[in-house]
Each structure stands twice: as C-alpha cells, then as structure tokens.
A = this chain, B = another copy of it.
Amino acid sequence: MTAPHPRIGIIGTGAIGGFYGLMLARAGYDVHFLLRSEYEAVRQNGLHVNSAVQGSLHLDEVQAYRRAADMPKCDWLLVGAKSTSNPELAPLIVEAAGQDAKVVVLQNGLGIEDDLRALLPSNIHLLGGLCFICAHRSALGVVEHQALGGVNLGYHSGSAATPEQQQALVEEGVSMFRAAGVDSNAAANLAQARWQKLVWNMPYNGLSVLLDAGTAPLMANPDSRALVRSIMLEACGAASACGYPLPEALVDRMMTATDHMPNYLPSMYHDHAHGRPMELEAIYAAPLAAAAQVGFGMPKTEALLQALRFISMRADR
C-alpha cells in the first residue's frame, strides 16, 4: 500500500456507502460518513449490515457528520449517493477533499464521471468504481447485503499525467478495498467497464420497475427472459459501436450469473418504490444518446426508457 493510513470519507451512505464504509472502518481505516436523512439514526444506533454472506455486521461508533464543512479533509472520498444528486454533491465533495484527493464514483451509468469532472478542481483525482453487489437499505442505517460485493476501479481524470501514475492510484484503491476484505480489481478501461456493467443494469433495473418484479421471476418467464436478453444484446452492440467491444458471450455469462443469484430487486426498483428519482439519465438516456451518436439503434431499450419516463412523470404528480 502506498498510503498506509488514508483517511476515507463516504459521501451519501445508503446501501453502497454504508456497506463499503462499514467494511473499511471494521478493517481499521479512519472512515468519516457524511449523512443527511440517516444522521440521527446512525448516531444513535450505528451502522448495520445484515449480510447473507458475512452474517450480521455492525459499526457502533460512527464518525458521522451532517455538513461536509465539519469533516476532516479526506484522502479518499467514496460517492455512494445517487447520480441524480451529483450536481448538489459536487460542492460537498470539494469541501471534504484533501490535497490531491481521490474521489471514487460508486454509481451506475454512463457519463457520470464526465459530468462530475466539470464541477471539480483539476487537482482532484476522479476514479470510477463498479460495484458488483446485491444490497439495499431496509431502514435508516441498516443495509441488507444479499450477495456478491466486489468493486472494480478505473482512473477517469485528474492530475496523474502518465498511465503509470494513474495505475498506481488505482492499485492503491484496490489494495485498500482488498485489505477490508472486499474483492477488488483494476479495470483496464473505465468506459468499457461502465458499458459492461450497463449490460446488466439496463434490462434488470428498468424491467423491475415496469413489471414490478425481481430478477428471479424475470428470468423464469420465457418472454421477459427473452426481453432481458434482447436488451443485453442491444447494450453489447452499442458498446462495440461506441468503440468498447464486448463479446456477445458476455450476455450468456451474465444471464447464467443472474440465474444463480438470489431473487434481486435492483436499486431502481427501490428508488421508485420509495418515491426517489430513478437514475434514468445515467443508466438509459446517456448510453442511448452515445449509441445514437454513432448510428446504433437500441429500440427495445428506448421503448423501456420511454415507458419508464412515463412512469416517472406520473410518480412526480
């Protein structure tokens, strides 16, 4: 590890920030949590992860803050909040960031680093983090961890000029997660890794909302299963058309992996069920726009987005 005692800040706790923050703190890292709705509950009861993999985990003494200005300057910042709130988060990230801080965006979708980059000073290193985890928040300060848990990291932009410097920072993050018992790897190409994750996210997130169903019933019914597969193939094709070739065999690997997962309700399902905005821009609109720009059609994915936007607008009323 190049930085043995980094100070870590978690921006936006929820399921993702809560899980990884707790894992890092339990491993002895100095972790600080910026909280909003969860502040009181976490101060009083700590953080809890009910893990089907690791059992019941808890962190009693949580270094929790309501305001970024009260946090100590952090070396690493993990952003676990929804991408829909990034414009409001950027000033808080800047406030909590130490000199040459590393900011890891643990969010789904395409283009989120580009959008956030424009709101951050150039000395801050921006990394993307791809979480492979089935988890959701069941109450304030309580995370249900159903399966998996890995994080892959890729460098996006910042003051690391050479590939070697960028790689060293990524490896530092990977080591930090591994030291906390979290499976982690360096992603050779962040954009490609983001597209690869979209191949999973694009069918399941939207269909869980549209059809009010988790992965198991979606995979058990031959028609929804075929629809999942079509959308995965559209995402694969779009990635390749955009210059990030993904093998079509990836689709069958992901289908098989999902067959072996417990029935899982993706984050968009929980967002919609709780009246929070859905990440339609990052998970659907941005990749559709990228594909359209290179003339690649994603008709079934587009139909899904159109239906989800209708649902989203009605939910807003």
Contact = CB atoms under 8 A, between A and B. Distances in A.
Interface in A216-241: 217-218, 221, 223-224, 226-227, 230
B230 A307 contact: no
Contacts of A210: 210, 307
Interface in A267-296: none
A306 B227 contact: yes
Nearest to A309: B223
Interface stretch (A33-41, A77-85, A121-129, A297-305): A297-305
A contact patch SS: helix
Given A207-B307, A211-B307, A213-B310, 20 more contacts: A210-B307, A211-B310, A211-B311, A213-B314, A217-B310, A217-B314, A218-B310, A221-B309, A221-B310, A221-B313, A223-B305, A223-B310, A224-B306, A224-B310, A230-B302, A230-B303, A299-B299, A299-B303, A303-B303, A303-B304
27 contacts: A207-B307, A210-B210, A210-B307, A213-B310, A213-B314, A217-B314, A218-B310, A221-B309, A221-B310, A221-B314, A223-B306, A223-B307, A223-B309, A223-B310, A223-B313, A224-B307, A226-B306, A227-B303, A227-B307, A227-B310, A230-B299, A230-B302, A230-B303, A299-B300, A300-B302, A300-B303, A303-B304
